[in-house]
Amino acid sequence: MLDKAAQTLLRPVMVRTARVLCRLGVTADALSWTGFVLGMGAAVTIASGQFLVGLALLLASRLMDGLDGAVARATQPTDRGGFLDITLDFVFYASIPLAFAVADPDANALAAAVLLASFIGTGSSFLAFAIVAEKRRLQSLAFPDKSFYFLGGLTEATETLAAFVAMCLWPQWFAEIAYGFAALCVITTALRIGWGYAAFR
């Protein structure tokens, strides 16, 4: 829901930074992998109970995730890069709830499982829509510079990041945050199913 506004706000800074990185010879794929490694570091530190360190690594990971696309657009976007980016993103998103479950299984395991199940709905509806949209040569008007069709909803990357930040700042409220965000993910999945059912008649 907030991705378009967030990207519009951050685009000038990202574009300028991407130009510097391009001059230094940094590739989009290298940034994708760096972001993924930082994200896995965030998961490991969260799992060990170091929530603020995990938060710092999590934010650094998402910065790299934003910059990889900016660098790709400043050079030459590739299908391989788009595939790598979305695959590593999905693994990262799954790792954070799992990390909280490991940190405190008794308090967090069920809520983490519910949240991860809701992520299956948002992720599968997102990717399934993109596959059929590509087959039909549809283009997203909201995100025309993405490597494939980006379908919106209540729970996009910005909202997910906000939920993760809240979990790291208030880990004692992880279960409540996870259940609330899972409910929003269920609504997003239902909306996407409705949109796809209408669009692909």
Average pLDDT over residues 185-198: 92
pLDDT tens digits, residue range 33-73?
999 999 999 999 999 999 999 999 999 999 999 898 889 88
pLDDT cut 90: percent of the chain above it: 62
Global pTM value? 0.88
**What is the DSSP secondary-structure string of 143-193?**
STTSSSPPP--SS-HHHHHHHHHHHHH-GGGHHHHHHHHHHHHHHHHHHHH
Q: How far apart are CA 107 and CA 82, in angstroms?
A: 37
pLDDT 10s digits, 121-157: 999 998 988 888 888 877 765 556 666 666 778 888 8
pLDDT of residue 76: 82
Residue 162 has pLDDT above 90, yes or no: yes
Calculate the alpha carbon distances from 146 to 36, 40, 73 in Å: 19, 24, 9
CA–CA separation, 107 and 24 (whole Å): 46
Question: What is the structure's pLDDT at 59?
Answer: 96
Residue-range domains of the chain with CATH: 3-199 (1.20.120.1760)
Q: Output the DSSP codes for 1-63.
A: --HHHHHHHHHHHHHHHHHHHHHTT--HHHHHHHHHHHHHHHHHHHHTT-HHHHHHHHHHHHH
